Amino acid sequence: MTKLSVNVNKIATLRNSRGGNVPNLCKVATDIESFGAEGITIHPRPDERHIRYQDARDLKKIVTTEFNIEGNPIKKFVDLVLETQPTQVTLVPDAVDAITSNAGWDTIKHKDFLKDVIATFKAHNIRTSIFVNADLKMVEGAAETGTDRIELYTESYADAYAEGNKNGVQPFTDAAILAHKLNLGINAGHDLSLDNIAFFKEKVPHLLEVSIGHALISESLYLGLENVVNMYLNKLK
Ligand SMILES: CC(=O)[C@@H](O)[C@H](O)COP(=O)(O)O
Ligand SMILES: NCC(=O)COP(=O)(O)O
């Protein structure tokens, strides 16, 4: 079964645009869970452009499904994760000023750093995942870090699919097969959408979780949030 974790960053973007508390992030997250989503994901960035660190604390109190916090493990991020104790932490090698996530980890170059950070979170019973490209060497390197899971960075798949190139899924199929052999759990995310999710699910084995935000919230503007969540759930069956 592949779980749907809804990234609510863009709800926070809308909220912050007017400086108040509309839409109420915690209410939207609770409603998303009531619609059937199996997780809530946030990615607090150092500049708190959308998700604020306080949002992580507030959501921890009300999320009843899986809570996944994504981010670059700078000190204040590590401290926030240890304070809030989410179900899962996903480590992403984002530059501070990145407009969005745009790369997976070099798990060979950063092996020692990742091993240390992952050991810290695992010692606090937080499941770990690291954001990687669908590159077999990076998957092998990920297994060396002791991480519980990897999150396959799916932008290249989404771009290829949008151009009609279904062969873009092959590296992800291969990466998932190798990761499973290496006893790594497999998550995926970034630019997944109602258009491309079913084919990805069909071709990528052992997929435990997808985290989806930007497309899902955008699609909801036309189709409604409850309807879109259920459309994803149906495509993930
Ligand atoms: C790692 C990843 O792909 C997501 O966390 C994505 O980057 C969402 O971040 P933004 O909502 O800031 O684009
Ligand atoms: N880890 C991916 C995520 O949380 C959401 O990415 P996107 O769907 O906003 O591109």
CATH topology of domain 3-235: TIM Barrel (3.20.20)
By alpha-carbon position, which residue is closest to atom 1 of ligand 1?
101
pLDDT tens per residue, range 97-150: 889 999 999 999 999 999 999 999 999 999 999 999 999 999 999 999 999 999
- For the chain, what percent of residues have pLDDT higher than 90? 97
8 Å CB contact between 228 and 10:
no
- Residue 93: its pLDDT value, please? 97
Amino acid letter, residue 4: L
Backbone angles phi, psi at 91, to 5 degrees: -90, 125
By alpha-carbon position, which residue is closest to atom 10 of ligand 2?
190
Atom of ligand 2 nearest to the CA of 131: 1
Separation of CA 98 from chain center: 16
- Residue 96: its pLDDT value, please? 84
pLDDT tens per residue, range 191-215: 999 999 999 999 999 999 999 999 9
Torsion of CA 59, 38, 131, 204, to 10 degrees: -170
Q: Please give the mean pLDDT across all residues of the chain.
A: 98
The DSSP bridge partners found for residue 151 are: 131, 187
Residue 90 pLDDT exceeds 90: yes
CA of 7 to the centre of ligand 2 (A): 6
- Residue 29: its pLDDT value, please? 99
What is the average pLDDT across 5-34?
98
Atom of ligand 2 nearest to the CA of 68: 4
Is the predicted ipTM greater than 0.95, yes or no? yes
Ligand 1 pocket by Cβ (under 6 Å): 7, 9, 43, 70, 92, 100-101, 131, 189-190, 213-214
CA of 191 to the centre of ligand 1 (A): 9
Atom of ligand 2 nearest to the CA of 9: 9
Q: Which of 43, 50, 133 to mutate to test the pocket of ligand 2 (most atoms within 8 A of CB)?
A: 43
| Size (the chain), residues | 237
Pairing of strands 88-91, 127-132: parallel
Q: Which residues are identified as catalytic?
A: 43, 70, 190
